[in-house]
Copies of this chain bind each other. A is one copy, B any other.
């Protein structure tokens, strides 16, 4: 029980500053109960183990270029922890390890840190764990705190990244790499754990290469973080946070579905976080079975236009009206319009025009648009036209993320339905309600799955550093089985990489894992969506439970992908 907490809201104790930690935070009963939730560890981590290596690795693409970019690391094998008669690693070795959170919040980040800390306590007593504050900038500016048991305790199994906070800076320029080296030397770091998404893990690998090249002892291991679920591969079956975020969104979607069915008069258009890939939308669809789900990757693959998407929605709405249903639930990925080629084209043209020309009120500027783009622009609702013209980022570019796609689609569906009503092919009534579920999901209390997964990721990352590994991403597998049977190891980050040509140079990138149209989750969805469209197969997952039914459930995406692999 976290002693300074008071669940009745009568607490007199408060935080005293922006980075003062949660020592005096006020906790709810549920938060409190989670602190002492005992985390299961994979059995390989509960017993003596040794690290074994696999065969040499290659790259996801262009291995020759990757080899040039990572001369010290390319080709290194993956590592796997396996049971051993005695621990193979020196327990009297005292390590100095740093940890950093990079990018957007994802439920479970605090547990990765707890896992690293507990490993050091359990297996390398006397080690020190530094938390770099505010993301990679904390490394460059050597802004850190030493994490101890008391400091970490109130964050166990809690959401958020506020233990050390995160940031979006990148370590890119030679000066920045120099700063990172200075910090590594100053703190005498044996290792660094970078908790982040695809970009951050690429950066982790560049750091590892750089430290190795400079003959520093500091090793670097990454951890796969992103609610978007787009950092994954065979060895890293899922990124942490995805499970919790999807379940939070699915709770809300399920509630809205029951509301839709009870009221019988609303179409709820739900936009879900996830700009680059539509994994969240697909997972939420599998959990809740809505009437319409748009998957960005499918829209892109089929080169659909905004009109195609609208027509698909309107067709379903018309058929449902004939069946007597004037209500429904529609899921849309945040990044939908990024997936539509004609929209990308329009935005590129707008960026060009707005950078160089004055936009006159009479609309003469529009003549600079290509015919196709002009047609699309005129097809858009006026509010969206204005958003495209007015909302620009500091570089003058259209801010696609700010466009409320769900509202745009409601207006476009309304217009099309009105047309069909005039033609006599639609006799229903339509009322759209828009929702955006995003920030609500990034900092929820981690599910049992994410709590255990993150703890194992962190514990394993520390083991990899302890055994002298670098340039790996912590990899916990066999996730469909009970936690004790999970596998633990590390995958060569270079093996996940390809190159992209930017400004005339090859840049290493870990390609985002997109929804695969031939993958098991999408195929499952595609096989049932017609039923979901016309019948009402709504499932309401309810609030995340920490004990009892469903409390240890794994995401549909993960289960289906594991099933397809098996």
Contacts and interface: CB of A to CB of B under 8 A. Distances in A.
Q: Assembly of this chain: how many copies?
A: 2
A75 B542 CA distance: 45
Given A14-B535, A439-B268, A545-B546, A31 B540 contact: yes
For A16, A443, A538, which residue has the most chain B Cβ atoms within 10 angstroms? Answer: A443
Contacts of A543: 30, 248, 251, 444-445, 543-545
Dominant SS at the A interface? loop
Given A258-B443, A556-B9, A542 B28 contact: yes
A519 B42 CA distance: 53
A264 interface: yes
A352 interface: no
A328 B464 CA distance: 39
Contact of A550 (B18, B29, B536): B29
A223 B166 CA distance: 50
Contacts of A18: 264, 323-325
A549 B31 CA distance: 9
Contacts of A264: 18, 165
Interface string A521-545: 0001000100100011111111111
B14 A537 contact: yes
Given A162-B262, A441-B255, A443-B255, A547 B550 contact: no
A370 interface: no
A200 to B, nearest CB: 16
A553 B439 contact: no
A28 B545 CA distance: 12
A160 interface: yes
For A26, A160, A324, A541, which residue has the most chain B Cβ atoms within 10 angstroms? Answer: A160
Interface in A136-174: 158-162, 165-166
A537 B536 CA distance: 43
A174 to B, nearest CB: 29
A93 interface: no
Given A14-B537, A540-B28, A9 B287 contact: yes
Interface size class for chain A?
A: 35 or more
A252 interface: yes
Given A162-B261, A261-B162, A444 B255 contact: yes
A440 interface: yes
A449 to B, nearest CB: 14
Given A18-B264, A29-B550, A264-B18, A159 B541 contact: no
A548 interface: yes
A511 interface: no
Contact of A34 (B31, B259, B542): B542
B15 A535 contact: yes
Nearest to A541: B28
Interface string A224-254: 0000000000000000000000001001101
A105 interface: yes
Interface string A413-453: 00000000000000000000101000111111100000000
Nearest to A324: B18
A33 interface: yes
Contacts of A549: 29-30, 32-33
Contact of A547 (B27, B542, B547): B547
A220 interface: no
Contact of A33 (B263, B524, B548): B548
Contact of A439 (B433, B539, B547): B433
A160 B324 CA distance: 19
Given A165-B262, A263-B105, A440 B535 contact: no
A287 B549 CA distance: 26
Nearest to A257: B443
Given A160-B262, A546-B545, A256 B439 contact: yes
Nearest to A550: B29
Given A256-B439, A550-B29, A262 B539 contact: no
B159 A540 contact: yes
Interface in A1-57: 7, 9, 11, 14-18, 25-34
A286 interface: yes
A386 B541 CA distance: 39
Given A30-B543, A30-B545, 14 more contacts: A17-B323, A26-B289, A28-B550, A29-B549, A31-B541, A158-B258, A159-B255, A248-B255, A255-B441, A258-B444, A268-B439, A435-B440, A445-B542, A545-B545
8 contacts: A7-B550, A9-B286, A28-B254, A34-B542, A159-B540, A160-B262, A166-B262, A445-B540
